Structure 1
Amino acid sequence: MCNNVLDILIKEFVKKYPLRNRTKIKWKEPLIAYAKADDKMFLQLKEVVSASHALPKDLMDDAATVIVYFIPFRKELVRTNAVEQSASKEWAEAYIDTNQLISDLNNYINKIIVKSGYKTSSIPATHNFDQESLLSDWSHRHIGFIAGLGKFGLNNMLITEKGCCGRIGSIITNLHITPTERKEGEYCLYKAKGVCKICISKCVNQALQLDSYDRHLCYEMSLSNDRKYNGLGKTDVCGKCLIELPCSFTKPLK
């Protein structure tokens, strides 16, 4: 099974998901990338993310490939989250629906790969972090960076060809797939040219600063939104530092 086949399967699943599951939200076509499980860059995650960050072979002994995909949000959804200090109800609902989409998509791809005689190991879309340190044991964003899906912005989000407004999922498999080439250069205007910095002004809890990021202040805002929408499900989300930016829906540097 080649990456082109998987690309088509993932894109078709996301396209048909809203009608099949009667979700309020519809997503744009996803981006997919692939990394070799033994890419040496994975070792660096124990330093740049957390000492407990897993390697692909920690989760699957014979891991060969990590599949990573970015599911972009539509502009009409993102605009709803630009109004108040708290996250919009639509944004909170999209968080829940997208988490479920990622879970269902991973299960779907898992079945297809298993039928082909291989194995997979899927990781939850979120909440795979230490509740005290708030450091992740598997950072989908960093995995996406290694796979060539995008580059990090000043807001600590992954900027892809379709921007940073969306969610990332990943799957580990012992199926060998040609890795995606990592591109040179920065995608963030500030990192490349020292301009923009709009994401800092968008952070409603002042967790994001030019030279620092307070993850506890950030999560404090997310928990506030979770309390506001506690009838919907787990909605510890914010997303203000993603909206109304040059990189919200596209890569600003070509």
Structure 2
Amino acid sequence: MKEVISLIKDYVKNYKEMKGTETDWREPIVGIADAGDPMFLELKDIISPSHALPSDFINDAKSVIVFFLPFQEKIVKSNIGDIESSREWDIANIETNNLIVDINKYLHEILTEKGYTSTVLPPTYNYDEKGLISDWSHRHVGYIAGIGTFGINNMLITEKGCCGRMGSIVTNMALMPIIKKEQENCLYKYNGTCGKCIDYCVANAISIDTGYPFVDKKRCNNQIYDDNIPQYSIGIGDACGKCMCNVPCSLTNPVSKLLE
């Protein structure tokens, strides 16, 4: 397991120089889940009956590797304020999606050499556009792999916050799963404080009116795909992220800080 984690961390560390990206990343967080964890089956109830199981990708799947690629603070700060996402935030999302694909391909080659197989899963756009439901939710898989818990904005809060992108790999290589913590990382869920992501959501898509956090996916999606989607030479800026920036969980786990 340590070898896989080191491979991912080293690849991310050298990626900016290798590819000449504008974006730079903090050290990734990597989690491992047992492909047979019963929580994968629960996602068919939580998300959709169409949500895939690891065995749908690889018949003899043994492990699911999940990695969170945290943005640098300067990228997060660039996206504070205004209604539309910043250029730096857009570029970071595009380049991170490319990085996720490249990590998948890199590990696939290494695992193939060792006699194992693995997936090359897309980082995004793998969802039902009408129902806005993912057939493979990297965030929920990240939760199963023990790298974070959900905030009321439905973002996964890791020890390095929620601002970043997440990817995952299914493999038939048996790896030791990470033990999940029972503690909530969201301040609102932990002790009833915060809720700043509600105020910063420019689409008014997050609410706790019923006593339980709710995200209106349609409002959120409409904000992202409005009439002002910027076009860049490397892709389109179909991002928002306002609810993730300038909040206690942007760059760190605020509950862990309380418990220090």
TM range (shorter): over 0.9
Deviations 1:28-79 (A, max 9, x none): 0001000000000001101111111000001111100000000000000111
2:190 corresponds, among 183, 189, 192, to: 192
The answer on whether the counterparts of 1:118 and 1:174 sit within 8 Å (CA) in structure 2 is yes
Cα offset for 1:185? 1.6
SS, match of residue 172 in structure 1: strand
2:237 aligns to what? Answer: 235
AA of the residue aligned to 2:84: S
2:247 aligns with one of 242, 245, 248? 245
User: How many Å separate the matches in 1 of 2:58 and 2:44?
Assistant: 17
* Separation of aligned partners in 2, 1:251 and 1:94: 21
Equivalences, count = 251
> Which of 36, 39, 43 is the matching residue for 2:41?
43
Say yes or no: does 1:4 pair with 2:2: yes
Amino acid at match of 1:174: N
Partner of 1:169: 167
The runs of at least 4 consecutive aligned structure 1 residues that moved more than 6 Å come to none
| 2:220 paired with 1:218 | yes
Identity %: 46
Aligned letter for 2:34? K
- Deviations for 1:182-207, whole angstroms, at most 9, x for unmatched residues? 01121111001111000000100101
Q: Gaps (5+ residues) in structure 1?
A: none
CA distance in 2, matches of 1:212, 1:175: 37
Q: What is the letter of the counterpart of residue 200 of structure 2?
A: K
- Residue 228 of structure 1: CA displacement? 3.0
- Contact 1:224–1:236 (CA under 8 A) maintained in structure 2: no
Q: For 1:95-121, what per-residue CA distance to the aligned partner results, in whole angstroms no more than 9, with x for missing partners?
A: 110000000111001100110000001
Residues 151-194 of structure 1 deviation map (CA, whole Å, 9 limit, x = unaligned): 11111000001111111000000000000000112111100111
Deviation sequence 1:123-145 (CA, Å, 0-9, x none)? 10000000100100000000000
Q: What secondary structure sits across from 1:121 in the alignment?
A: coil
- Give the counterpart of 1:152 among 150, 153, 161: 150
Match runs of 1:96-107 below 5 Å:
96-107=94-105
TM-score by length of structure 1 reads: 0.96
1:81-160 alignment runs, 5 A limit: 81-160=79-158
Give the gaps of 5 or more residues in structure 2.
Answer: none
Letter in 2 for 1:152: F
Question: Displacement, 1:245?
Answer: 0.9
